[in-house]
Structure formats: structure tokens, C-alpha cells
């Protein structure tokens, strides 16, 4: 595994960890089971998309073509 991959993975996990520690959600009734599942799926999808965007931008900022050529 390359250091870029490990760095990107670390940043993704760091972002997701901070998102989990965010503002607590108010308690809802348990009768809203399917709606809760849908909300969780949408929020996880949003977190995943933001993490991918952050990792991609970090990779683009640290990309060095000369190093890539030397590795090949």
C-alpha cells in the first residue's frame, strides 16, 4: 500500500469520526423504522460522497508526476 492511499484512508476515517461526534439528534419514536433506515442510508451516502471528494482533492494536491514517473 502506498503512503498516499494510507493518508487518504486516514483522512476519510478522521472526517467520518468527526461527523459521528457532531451534534446529537433528538430522540424520535421507534414507530418510524423505515423512515429512519432511509435517513441513515442517505446520511451515510452523503458522508461517503464528502469523504471521497476530500480524499480526491487531497490526492490531486499531493500528486507529483515526477515521482509517478520514477515509480514506473
- Asked if residue 30 belongs to a domain, the reply is yes
CB–CB of 70/35 below 8 Å?
A: no
Smallest CA-to-CA distance from 56 within 20, 22, 7 is with: 7
**Model's pTM, two decimal places?**
0.42
Contacts of 52 (CB under 8 A, 6+ apart): 12
- Asked if residue 72 belongs to a domain, the reply is no
- Find the helix or strand (DSSP H, E) in which 51 lies: helix 33-62
> What local confidence, expressed as pLDDT, does residue 47 receive?
92
The tally of domains found in the chain comes to: 1
Average pLDDT of the chain is 79
Please compute, for residue 65, the number of CA atoms within 13 A of its CA located in the half-sphere on the CB side: 0
- Asked if residue 43 belongs to a domain, the reply is yes
Does 59 score more than 80 pLDDT? yes
Higher pLDDT, 31 or 42: 42
- Asked if residue 38 belongs to a domain, the reply is yes
> What local confidence, expressed as pLDDT, does residue 33 receive?
63
What is the span of the domain harbouring residue 30?
Answer: 2-63
- Asked if residue 32 belongs to a domain, the reply is yes
- Asked if residue 70 belongs to a domain, the reply is no
Amino acid at each position: 500500500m502506498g503512503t498516499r492511499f494510507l493518508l487518504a484512508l486516514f483522512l476519510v476515517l478522521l472526517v467520518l469520526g468527526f461527523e459521528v461526534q457532531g451534534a446529537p439528534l433528538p430522540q424520535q419514536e421507534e414507530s418510524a423504522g423505515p423512515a429512519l433506515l432511509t435517513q441513515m442510508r442517505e446520511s451515510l451516502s452523503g458522508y461517503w460522497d464528502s469523504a471521497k471528494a476530500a480524499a480526491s482533492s487531497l490526492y490531486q494536491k499531493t500528486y507529483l508526476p515526477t515521482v509517478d514517473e520514477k515509480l514506473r
